[in-house]
């Protein structure tokens, strides 16, 4: 069976995603569609609007054949690590092509990746600017192009990971349709995920026109939208109670950020105030969210390094075609293929995702990992 791969968050699954899926199938002529999807926390480090099982079920109900989880140690990362982790899993599943949305699909992303080789690495030392700002300054000087839009940034990262690892699959960018990534209004059947989430927060049922019925049903059951404001009391307590020496071992914590976050927690009673106090030109908002999540989960640098070297395929949902494809590739897959998490996996290989799932249960009563079987949709 010929397979096309997708890298997704589906936060939530909406009509734009369904268009992307249909285009991927039409362009490649694939027999089966395989999606690698972030779990309960996004690349930016935010809790997803609904849990991973509901999002995976909606994806399969609307045409994806197989959904596997992108583990937290790959999912909650900057674009280059996020992309590299996702492509590693898709490569292990034997997909022949990967289709992704981009704001500028006509760009030669291979040329942009090669331009990075000419960068002056010693110049990345401006503490009053983010790495992304300094990167774009050099990229523009070399090519006249800047990577600003999120999907273009990911397109660059997919291309770089493919070139670095000599993956055999074809990368196919397609034009992103409808609203801009950051648009917060819903005016038609295709809207950004941000706009849909904002509508849900505002109790505005306009979101229903922008998502398939299966996703609308899941969103209708959300009583309180998951947010960092809800998680902040736990984070604040962790930052106040933990010694500086312990915080320094947290993944992504560096350059004295532990002192700044600890002081911010002591001064701030809500998450918005905490972020305002912590934010500097050196760190993006997304970086601070990721550090906050890893702090709350008590994840160390050593732990992420260990897990990154031991990837796995945790199956979330599939249909009959997805089942057949799993049967076809399971003997060739060189990393663990997991369909149910037992206590042994909970305490070892999947421990980080298990802990993240338990944290996410602040928003839902559904067990997120232990003994949870894949969703099967016929």
Q: Is 176 annotated as a binding residue?
A: yes
Q: What is the mean pLDDT of residues 335-359?
A: 96
Q: Is 355 annotated as a binding residue?
A: no
The answer to whether 166 and 174 have CB atoms below 8 angstroms apart is no
Q: 20: annotated binding-site residue? A: yes
Confidence of residue 155 (pLDDT cuts 50, 70, 90): very high
Does the annotation list 99 as a binding residue?
Answer: no
Q: Does residue 250 have a pLDDT over 80?
A: yes
Identify the pLDDT of residue 274: 98
- pLDDT band at residue 182 under the 50/70/90 scheme: low
Consult the annotation and say whether 120 binds a ligand.
no
- Residue 178 has what pLDDT? 56
How many Å apart are CA 138 and CA 18, to the nearest integer?
A: 36
Average pLDDT of span 263-280: 96
Residue 16 is assigned to a ligand binding site: yes
pLDDT in tens, 56-79: 999 999 999 999 999 999 999 999
Model confidence at 216, pLDDT cuts 50, 70, 90, reads: very high
The answer to whether 151 is a known ligand-binding residue is yes
pLDDT reported for residue 114: 92
Structural contact between residues 69 and 372, judged by C-beta atoms closer than 8 angstroms? no
Residue ranges covered by each domain of the chain = 3-107+151-223+309-376, 109-144, 228-304
For residue 19, say whether it is annotated as part of any ligand binding site.
yes
Is residue 82 part of an annotated ligand binding site?
no
pLDDT at 125 over 70: no
Q: Is 372 annotated as a binding residue?
A: no
According to CATH, the topology of domain 3-107+151-223+309-376 is Rossmann fold (3.40.50)
Confidence of residue 268 (pLDDT cuts 50, 70, 90): very high
9 annotated ligand-binding residue = yes
Tell whether 67 is in a known binding site.
no
Q: What is the pLDDT of residue 263?
A: 97
């Amino acid at each position: 069976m010929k397979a096309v791969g997708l890298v997704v968050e589906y936060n939530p699954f909406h009509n734009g995603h369904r268009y992307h899926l249909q285009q991927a199938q039409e362009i490649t002529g694939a027999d089966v569609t395989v999606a690698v999807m972030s779990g309960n926390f996004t690349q930016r480090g935010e809790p997803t609007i609904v849990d991973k099982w509901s999002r995976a079920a909606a994806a399969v109900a609307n045409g994806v054949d197989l959904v596997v989880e992108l583990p937290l140690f790959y999912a909650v990362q900057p674009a280059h690590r996020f992309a590299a982790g996702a492509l590693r899993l898709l490569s292990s599943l034997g997909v022949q092509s990967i289709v992704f949305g981009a704001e500028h699909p006509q760009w030669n992303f291979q040329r942009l990746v090669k331009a990075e080789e000419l960068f002056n690495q010693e110049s990345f030392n401006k503490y009053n600017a983010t790495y992304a700002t300094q990167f774009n300054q050099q990229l523009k000087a070399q090519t006249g192009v800047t990577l600003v839009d999120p999907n273009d940034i990911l397109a660059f990262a997919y291309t770089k990971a493919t070139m670095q690892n000599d993956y055999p699959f074809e990368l196919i960018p397609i034009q992103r349709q409808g609203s801009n990534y950051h648009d917060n209004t819903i005016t038609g059947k295709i809207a950004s995920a941000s706009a849909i989430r904002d509508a849900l927060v505002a109790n505005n049922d306009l979101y229903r026109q922008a998502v398939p019925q299966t996703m609308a049903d899941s969103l209708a059951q959300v009583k309180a939208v998951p947010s960092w404001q809800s998680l902040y009391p736990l984070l604040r307590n962790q930052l106040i109670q933990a010694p500086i020496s312990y915080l320094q071992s947290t993944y992504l914590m560096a350059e004295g950020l532990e002192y700044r976050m600890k002081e911010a927690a002591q001064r701030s009673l809500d998450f918005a105030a905490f972020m305002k106090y912590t934010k500097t030109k050196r760190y993006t908002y997304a970086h601070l969210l990721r550090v906050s999540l890893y702090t709350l989960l008590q994840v160390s640098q050593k732990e992420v390094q260990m897990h990154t070297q031991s990837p796995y395929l945790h199956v979330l949902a599939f249909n009959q075609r997805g089942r057949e494809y799993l049967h076809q590739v399971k003997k060739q897959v060189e990393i663990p293929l997991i369909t149910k998490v037992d206590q042994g996996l909970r305490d070892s290989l999947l421990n980080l995702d298990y802990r993240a799932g338990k944290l996410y249960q602040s928003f839902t009563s559904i067990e997120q990992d232990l003994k949870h079987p894949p969703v099967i949709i016929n």
